[in-house]
Chain A
């Protein structure tokens, strides 16, 4: 068995056709899009074609797409750019407790610098309620940012409704769509999004490139000063190979979206169901069915710790991830799982498999064959398992 990669929410391999086109824009068509000669012109044309491909995947106009260095920069650009441009109108900002750190930390920075922040709670499935958004809105609210789909538990947020509410109240709406892009259809009109964050390397494009959709008419304070590229929103010579690669990756994702979503959904459910059938004391984190991202499996395996599960899986060549403290680089487990009301103990035992295009049914079967053995071995070692057995915890499954 080859190595089994089930960590596509972290990153994906670059599609071979994407690599090929990127190489051409490194070695042959290497012009600077700002130059006037033919090298420059062909580069500029390629850049604009890529912009169109990205716009096409989300129902936007090409001129509404700004290329960035990735999702993090796009989030920063959207949130700080809007806050600075609209601060005379108001200084209140709204986001959710389960956002990616690129969003949360940016808002925290603003909260320390003259803005006021409301962080919305989520329910036990990791979903923000529209009622909570409505409650949080104030006359001085200028921006609401709620992610499209959560990266850890795959919960899909009611962004279209939140966007509609924001629109009705004259508040700008940003959504981080890094995890949903290419997995569920996105249309910025239907979502009522004013700003939307994208990243290339989650959809079989290269690392180091992303984009921000900025609806025509929305003002953003300039953040990088220089040559005025990207409509003065982001100075600096454009990452042409990256943009071209991202453009193609968007086009490919759009072509295969529905077919691939169906395939992933099937694999996801096989894996989720298989785990809960084979291993007792497992809690599924996040919603089931249509409100869950098609490629996300997240479970808490009680009485064992996430990092040791990952190490055990790594020894049989399976790559996954966890929200345990040891893997988050801090002493606390995932802020997403804690916001969903999980105890620290249960959050420490969380395990995420994120599926992608090269995963097969055989690979799912391989994981289902190996995971129970790893869990059993770690539980034999775990004093918590002893305590649970002694206290007569019912040995029910699931």
Chain B
């Protein structure tokens, strides 16, 4: 049911962990529905220098989180905001239909982290 890419990212997830002094943190989902994703961003001059994630969820949830971190590293904030959940799924050669709905939230978590960064930025700057 899962593509080889999904299984690869599930087995060897990239960028798992936390960033101690993250410039932006975003979390989406809840334990009730079975998926929680948290994204940590390190941003300098609007450039995403580093990204890490922590995810509770199914294979698709882990794989989309991992894939997303690969997609955003080195991007500008503006570019990162254009990444959609669908784009993440496409980069993984697709997800089973049910998972498109329930576990494909990584881009939402990224956008939440960017929003968090922008709000903090405005407060301090």
Contacts and interface: CB of A to CB of B under 8 A. Distances in A.
Interface of A: 303-308, 311, 315, 324-326, 329, 331, 333, 343-345, 348, 380-386
- For A305, A324, A386, which residue has the most chain B Cβ atoms within 10 angstroms? A305
Contacts of B59: 307-308, 311, 326
B16 A344 contact: no
Closest 5 CB pairs of A and B: A307-B58, A345-B31, A326-B58, A383-B54, A344-B32
Contact of A382 (B11, B32, B54, B58): B54
B58 A304 contact: no
Contacts of A343: 32
Interface in B35-62: 35-38, 54-62
Nearest to A331: B102
Interface bin, chain B: 20 to 34
B57 A308 contact: yes
Contacts of B2: 311
A54 to B, nearest CB: 35
7 contacts: A305-B61, A308-B57, A308-B59, A308-B61, A348-B34, A383-B54, A383-B55
A306 to B, nearest CB: 8
Given A325-B34, A326-B103, A345-B32, A386 B54 contact: yes
A303 B36 CA distance: 11
DSSP majority for the A interface?
helix
Nearest to B103: A326
Given A305-B35, A326-B103, A333-B34, A381 B16 contact: yes
Contacts of B60: 326
B94 interface: no
A136 to B, nearest CB: 30
B102 A305 contact: no
Contact of A325 (B7, B16, B55, B102): B102
B54 A344 contact: no
Contacts of A315: 11
Contacts of A345: 31-32
Nearest to A380: B16
Nearest to B101: A331
B56 A384 contact: yes
A166 to B, nearest CB: 38
Given A311-B59, A326-B103, 12 more contacts: A304-B56, A306-B58, A307-B59, A326-B60, A326-B102, A333-B34, A344-B33, A381-B16, A381-B54, A382-B56, A383-B37, A383-B38
Interface string B2-22: 100001001101001010000
A303 B13 CA distance: 18
B108 interface: no
A381 B34 contact: no
A398 to B, nearest CB: 21
Contact of B62 (A308, A331, A385): A308
